[in-house]
Amino acid sequence: MWLDKKGRPACEVALVVKGCRADMPAVQAVAGAGAGRAFAGTREGAYAEDGDALSVCDVTPAVTALLVLAPGTYAAGRPTGISTCRINQGLSLVGVTYREWPDTDTQGTRHTWFERPIALTDQPYIDQTYRYGSTMGGSFQQHQGVEFNNPDGTPVHAIGDGTVVFAGLAERGSNTVAIRHDRKLKGLFVYSTYYHNSKLLVSQGQRVKAGDVIALVGNTGRATNDHLHLEIHVTPVDSTPLVVDPNERFPRYTVNPELWIRPLPGTGVVAGRVWNAQGQPAPQVRVYGLVKAEPQETPYSYAETYGEHNHPDPDYGEHFAVSDVEPGDYTLAVVVDRRKMTRRVRVEADRVMWVEFGSRAH
């Protein structure tokens, strides 16, 4: 509930009210806040109240956030997923340049060995509505890979050097290719699998190089549109059935491809963990706050932490990962056990940046 200068409700609203919005712009300015002072965030910066108490009752297009802040320094404008409201009171600019360093550690790029399976001249973006571990807000099963939406017949490329260990029909008649890659991770075998193709251009036992065209995009099998479904598997033994099994909906050794494919030029990766009050991984929690360049048909909104059928990377042990993030300073937000938590992250090109939330964060 929003409060006026005397700590009284400005109007009878909860955290989500008519006229609220979560699509705030990028950070332009911040302000040091005194206890209980109200601020509003706009595209021009952070504004303090001027005259009467701020209210969320009157909606105008000028202001994109109304915040009652504890003492400290705050950024105005980052989308955190917590609903924000617009107001029409008189405001005075109090913003200053945002220069605080974030909480993030740099993890480097430990194994972004692989190229994109779709050429940069086609549509190389990862679908942001159904990423690894996503359930589309609870509407679908926990996703085991990532999608690349492209028209039927778009070339599909091998992401790395290796040997084709499967080329044929897999789940629900999906034309599928599986490659065992030459490079291992600490003795573990690394595979990539490519689903829903309209045509296969390689055969079992064939050697391929990164960039070779191995198939054409289609919608065979369990697919609702033309797209490539890509999975990466890291297995303790060399076993094709562990990777391609028509009867297994949740393969045992999938990992998040966004930690293995090189990010788009000039972008970075954010990964991290979200813990609940008992110190356990918090599943299917939405992580808000990142801004990405993406195709309009699948705009980025939030990431989801992994569920019981997803697997942290052997090198990172993460609960979520998001690639192709534009460099800059971000404020991420989650809600766990009805408690909102925020962390700052500074994204750098060609790096994996790490952030943690909750009782085991450090």
- At a CB cut-off of 8 Å and minimum separation 6, what does 264 contact? 120, 124, 125, 293, 323, 324
Q: Per-residue pLDDT averaged across 277-291, rounded?
A: 88
**Which pLDDT value is given to residue 108?**
57
At residue 11, does pLDDT exceed 60? no
Band (pLDDT 50/70/90 cuts) for residue 344 is confident
The residues of the chain that CATH labels 2.70.70.10 are 146-255
Helices (H), the chain: none
- How is residue 104 annotated by DSSP? P
- How is residue 338 annotated by DSSP? T
Q: Tokens 């065992």 label which residue?
A: 180
Between residues 172 and 333, the one the model is more confident about? 333
**Which pLDDT value is given to residue 136?**
63
Q: Per-residue pLDDT averaged across 87-114, rounded?
A: 48
**Which pLDDT value is given to residue 105?**
52
pLDDT above 90 as % of the chain: 39
Q: What is the pLDDT of residues 104-140, one digit of tens each?
A: 555 555 789 999 999 999 999 988 777 888 776 655 6
Q: Please state the pTM of the whole predicted model.
A: 0.70
- How is residue 150 annotated by DSSP? -
Residue 245: both structure tokens together:
């099994």
Burial of 177 (0-12, 13-18, 19+ CB in 10 A): buried
Between residues 150 and 295, the one the model is more confident about? 150
The C-alpha atoms of residue 224 and residue 247 are separated, in whole angstroms, by: 20
At residue 277, does pLDDT exceed 50? yes
**Which pLDDT value is given to residue 318?**
92
Report the CATH fold assignment for 146-255.
Glucose Permease (Domain IIA) (2.70.70)
Candidate ranges 72-81, 198-207, 323-332; pick with highest mean pLDDT: 198-207
Q: What is the pLDDT of residues 221-275, one digit of tens each?
A: 887 788 999 999 999 999 999 999 877 777 889 999 999 999 999 999 999 999 9
**Which pLDDT value is given to residue 245?**
85
Distances (CA, A) of 88 to 66, 199, 208, 228, 362: 11, 58, 62, 47, 41
Residues 64, 20 contacting (CB under 8 angstroms): no
Q: Per-residue pLDDT averaged across 347-359, rounded?
A: 88
